[in-house]
């Protein structure tokens, strides 16, 4: 156990979004700041989370995440991420929950997201893991919601050299 840092890459597909029915689609605010529907297209992201592995089955981290959703819609989020780890020495299944809040200015502001990821970790060396998983996130702003589903790939570097199966000698 100990501290860790985990960079990752994500690619996801927009499942569509919905606009609140009470929003006036002819209002200047709506036409200037809200796209009626995001294109059903891919989104790309990169992030880094640092945290502490508190218990053998639980870690808590925080970090930054950037997502390109569409032209003029670039989201930079501060995230918090509790992670649950299941399994023994060699391969481990993970369940992550994530919450993020936008802190940059973009075409849509004041968004936040939450979601989860189910994945698998595999030891690479004494303190390095590779990780892959399937995620689903819901991005919310004041007037619209968007759902993304996709794949995440990353690595985790631990401060404790005896964390992985290769470190137990």
CATH fold group of domain 2-167: Porin (2.40.160)
CA distance 84 to 65: 20
Domain spans in the chain, listed from the N-terminal domain onward: 2-167
Per-residue model confidence (pLDDT) at position 21: 39
The model's pTM: 0.77
Of 77, 147, 144, 60, nearest to 112 (Cα)? 77
Average pLDDT over the chain, rounded to an integer: 81
Provide the pLDDT confidence category of residue 81 given band limits of 50, 70 and 90.
very high
Of 135, 136, 137, nearest to 111 (Cα)? 137
* 65: CB partners within 8 A, 6+ apart: 45, 46, 47, 48, 76, 77, 79, 100
Per-residue model confidence (pLDDT) at position 162: 63
pLDDT tens digit sequence for 2-48: 899 999 999 999 886 543 434 445 555 555 555 445 555 788 999 99
* Structure tokens that stand for 93 in this block: 């299944």
Provide the pLDDT confidence category of residue 78 given band limits of 50, 70 and 90.
very high
């Amino acid at each position: 156990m100990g501290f860790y840092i985990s960079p990752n890459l994500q690619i996801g597909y927009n499942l569509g979004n919905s606009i609140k029915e009470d929003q006036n689609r002819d209002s200047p605010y709506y036409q200037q700041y809200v796209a009626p529907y995001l294109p059903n297209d891919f989104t790309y992201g990169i992030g880094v989370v640092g945290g502490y592995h508190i218990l053998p089955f639980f870690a808590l981290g925080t970090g930054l995440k950037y997502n390109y959703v569409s032209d003029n819609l670039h989201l930079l989020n501060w995230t918090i991420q509790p992670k649950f780890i299941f399994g023994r020495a060699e391969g481990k299944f993970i369940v992550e929950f994530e919450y993020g809040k936008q802190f940059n200015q973009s075409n849509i502001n004041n968004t936040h997201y939450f979601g989860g990821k189910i994945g698998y970790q595999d030891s690479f060396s004494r303190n390095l893991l590779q990780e892959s998983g399937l995620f689903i996130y819901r991005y919310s702003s004041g007037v619209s919601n968007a759902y993304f589903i996709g794949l995440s790939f990353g690595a985790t570097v631990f401060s404790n050299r005896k964390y992985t199966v290769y470190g137990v000698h």
